[in-house]
Amino acid sequence: MLVKDLMTTGISCVKEDTSFLQIAKQMKQEDVGLIPVCNDKGEVKGVVTDRDLVLRALARDTGSPTGKASPGEVPQDRTAASQLTAKDVMSTNIVCASPDMNTHHAALLLAKYQVRRLPVTQNNKLVGMLSMADIARKTVFIDEAGDALSAICAAAPASYL
């Protein structure tokens, strides 16, 4: 089976200058945990996950030269997170699948790179998204999804899980 047979299409993306707050609202509205960041040509520049929003924006310490508050110190600038954009919080160096890739190979990529979702690109443009759940929904791939999930969970967490 090919990736195009399982992937989700109609994926919306944001631009690098989209605000952190707009991305969070879009995630809630679309009930997704990942939004691709694309340029005007539809090329994937990165992805923003719900985890990125929490770790790189909400939990960001400000008010010190290093960007980290000392233990017990209250950050001075609590509005800084609201000024962040997709470019500030996105994960880069994204691994992508192609629509004509074998689903088994895509599952191996999920495991190798310890991610739960792969943007699907054709001619460098976003055409869909393949998730661990997409693979697991097909009875024939349940073992592959389980193997990939085991590999993902076995090692240190990746930046765009």
pLDDT digits (tens, 9 = 90+) for 83-132: 899 999 999 999 999 999 999 999 999 999 999 999 999 999 999 999 99
Beta bridge partners of 35: 48
Query: What is the model's pLDDT at position 91?
Result: 95
Does residue 161 fall inside a structural domain? no
Which is higher by pLDDT, 20 or 62?
20
Q: Please state the rounded mean pLDDT for residues 143-154.
A: 56
Is 86 inside a domain boundary? Answer: yes
Buried-exposed string 105-135: b where 16+ CB fall within 10 A, e elsewhere: ebbebbbebbbbbbbbbeeeebbbbbbbebb
Residue recorded with tokens 């999930």? 149
Which amino acid is residue 109, in one-letter code? L
In a domain, 120, yes or no: yes
Q: Is 159 within the bounds of a domain?
A: no
pLDDT-above-70 percentage for the chain: 73
**Token pair recorded at residue 81:** 């997170």
Tell me how far apart the alpha carbons of residues 111 and 43 are, in angstroms, rounded to a whole number. 24
Domain CATH number, residue 27: 3.10.580.10
- The answer to whether residue 15 sits within a structural domain is yes
Range of 95's domain? 3-154
Q: Decide if 39 is inside a domain.
A: yes
Planar angle of CA 112, 59, 30, nearest 5 degrees: 65
Does any domain span residue 160? Answer: no
Based on the structure, what is the number of domains in the chain?
Answer: 1
